[in-house]
A and B are shown apart, each in its own frame.
Chain A
Amino acid sequence: MVSSNTNQIRIKMGKTLFEKIWDAHVVVNKENSPSLIYVDRHLVHEVTSPQAFDGLRMNHRSVRRPDLTIATMDHNVPTNDRSLPILDQTSAIQIQTLEKNCKDFGIQLFDINSPNQGIVHVIGPQLGITLPGSTIVCGDSHTSTHGAFGALAFGIGTSDVEHVLASQTIWLEKPRSFEIRVEGKRKNPHAVTAKDIILSIIKNIGTAGGTGTIIEYTGEGISDLSMEERMTICNMSIEGGARAGLVAPDEKTFDYLRNRKYTPKNYESLVTYWKENLKTDIDAKFSKSFTLNIDNIAPQVSWGTNPGMTCDVTESIPTPEDYSKGDQNQKKAAEKALEYMDLKSGTPITEIKIDRVFIGSCTNARLDDLIEASKVIKGQKVSQNVRAMVVPGSQMVKKQAEEMGIDKIFTDAKFEWREAGCSMCLGMNPDILSPGERCASTSNRNFEGRQGVGGRTHLVSPVMAAAAAVEGHFVDVRELDLK
């Protein structure tokens, strides 16, 4: 009886955006078990796919829907001169393997020489492959980025990559829905960015705060954001523990995707459908909620070895006691982090000197990120103790920036201007930190050794990274006249 009552209540209650997309993609529904969910878009890259294609070959299986599958190479690719051979043999083999797999299985590939090559989560939206209301998977946890368009997008392991290649579906337990409401207005959106909003959220909810959930970001603080800024927010949902994060689509979303290379021919009729259907009902209930007011938030800087270990640029490194609020395991983690980062409690963030600056990654390497960072360094020079590089998120971003003369601003300031790829976000290619080097990075993870064994990562926004490059230490970019 209890369960049937619950069912009746559920029928009357509205649905969240996530639940609507979920319901529209259920192929097989099983009571108290994972459901079989249809996948509309499967993005493939070189690192997490070779074993999946091998599995298909061993079992004499084909790719069910090559027309819903797109591949590129991003994790491993060198970001220097593309006319040179790849020196790292294992990287070269992985890249050749993807070429062969795409050829054998009939999958469209944007290879290292393609003008469409780039980080998979940057090119998806740019090419109009990402669509509202769709389900998108990729063997990469930052697939959550595509949620900015009102898609249900999440990362999967290699076994699931094989499963999706073979069946275009995935077994999934239905996650709970988590509303993160962002209220208020930033005083200067050029200084306090989307990166600062998402780092503030993670600092508050913790790195496991979203485990088992799909986040929907709502509120004025989100609807005010551009599509690129929303991508930065959704990108780091995984750093808050949620497999996916999404934003209800609006005119900005529909405008962004109009007239892209792969925008569907029946786009306008889809937009009409999306406008009616892709929003959370007023009477829908979320399992969990959190509200952040952004009226007065400061630029954020991570000080530890996970993205939750973050504070305002105006603060000092906390003591493990203050950080852990009585949790012994968290206290131990903070002590270990400070030792690894070679930082002392009480040191003001603005006194931390840096050796390297990395502006790049699927979090912050889109055109606006580069434009905003270039405003900080225009007419300035990178501090002589700092080595700084810009790695555009895609070859399209790179080309657009070059047409605007942005590359010149960076190179005049002594930044290195590179080809597109994941680069030093995870250091699988030659772009890595040396042991002990400290980096202001616009990427998403500050784990031990993430950017190179013994390397120390501070997560910041593109403008914070640019300002640190010039000064040689962190500065509060609100003090600059950014417009």
Chain B
Amino acid sequence: MDAFKKIKTIVTPLDHVNVDTDQIVPKQFLKLVQKSGFGKYLFFNWRFKENGDKNQNFILNDKKYQNSKILVTGDNFGCGSSREHAVWALKDYGFSVIIAPSFADIFYSNCFKNGVLPIKLEEKIVEKLKHELGEIEVDLENQSLKTDHEQISFDIDFHKKKILLEGLDDISQTLQFEDKILEFEKKSKIPSVL
């Protein structure tokens, strides 16, 4: 995973609460067996009409936002299924930062495995950011967002921050604890399945 760098772009405001993973990437696109190329399916049923034409009323189809890497949205973003395809689609489309008042648990955890930074902020600050027209700088190292006229700090778990900043591979980290895992297995009460 690539290390997370500073980002500075305008924000894309997606003004919905409870955006579920079925909307982020509909099920008909979960049949691929690789991780790449999901960006074209992001918000598919909202971005495209039944006849395949672009839905011009949907925010992502506004050219103004085509280079935005920051999605600002409503409460409980990413609720529903555990599909990591949702994060793959957001990342592949170009979003590296998602700002919302709250996230669903599994989605939140999936973000960190893919170099996507989810930022939780108070609802009134999120509302303000949705209307921010200028570029916003996201600085994970210093846990701050800078607009043209103010600086907003955000909280993040130390461990998760480190994973993103260093682009760490979770599994190789874990395998350093091999002796502890073995020790645990020796005293485990739950027998194997077969």
Contact = CB atoms under 8 A, between A and B. Distances in A.
Contacts of A333: 16-18
Contacts of B31: 47, 76, 88, 90-91, 93-94, 428
Interface residues of A, number: 84
Nearest to B17: A329
Interface in B78-134: 79-85, 87, 102, 104-106, 109-110, 113-114
Nearest to A143: B82
A156 B87 CA distance: 13
Given A32-B158, A208-B102, A108 B194 contact: yes
B54 to A, nearest CB: 16
A219 B54 CA distance: 52
Pick from B34, B87, B104 the residue with the most CB of A within 10 Å: B104
A93 B33 contact: yes
Nearest to B23: A448
A3 B42 CA distance: 45
B121 to A, nearest CB: 15
A50 interface: yes
A278 to B, nearest CB: 12
Interface in A2-34: 24, 27-28, 30, 32-34
B4 to A, nearest CB: 16
Interface string B1-40: 0000000000000011110101100111011111100000
B181 A167 contact: yes
A158 B106 CA distance: 11
Contact of B33 (A33, A94, A160): A94
A207 interface: yes
A167 B171 CA distance: 7
Contacts of A449: 22-23, 26, 45
B82 A330 contact: no
Contacts of A129: 193
A262 interface: yes
A64 B177 CA distance: 13
Interface string A67-105: 111100001100000000000101101100100000000
Contact of B193 (A48, A162, A262): A262
Interface stretch (B59-67, B137-145, B147-155, B184-192): B184-192
Contact of B74 (A59, A171, A306, A329): A329
A238 B184 CA distance: 29
A447 interface: yes
Interface stretch (A132-140, A222-230, A407-415, A470-478): A132-140
B26 A453 contact: yes
Pick from B17, B34, B113, B193 the residue with the most CB of A within 10 Å: B193
Contacts of B192: 65, 67-68
B129 to A, nearest CB: 15
Interface string B154-194: 00011100000000001100110100110011001111111
A156 B33 CA distance: 17
A38 B180 CA distance: 10
Contacts of A175: 105
Interface in A410-450: 426-428, 435, 445, 447-450
B55 interface: no
Contacts of A69: 193
Given A169-B174, A208-B104, 7 more contacts: A38-B188, A163-B174, A167-B181, A169-B181, A306-B20, A426-B81, A445-B22
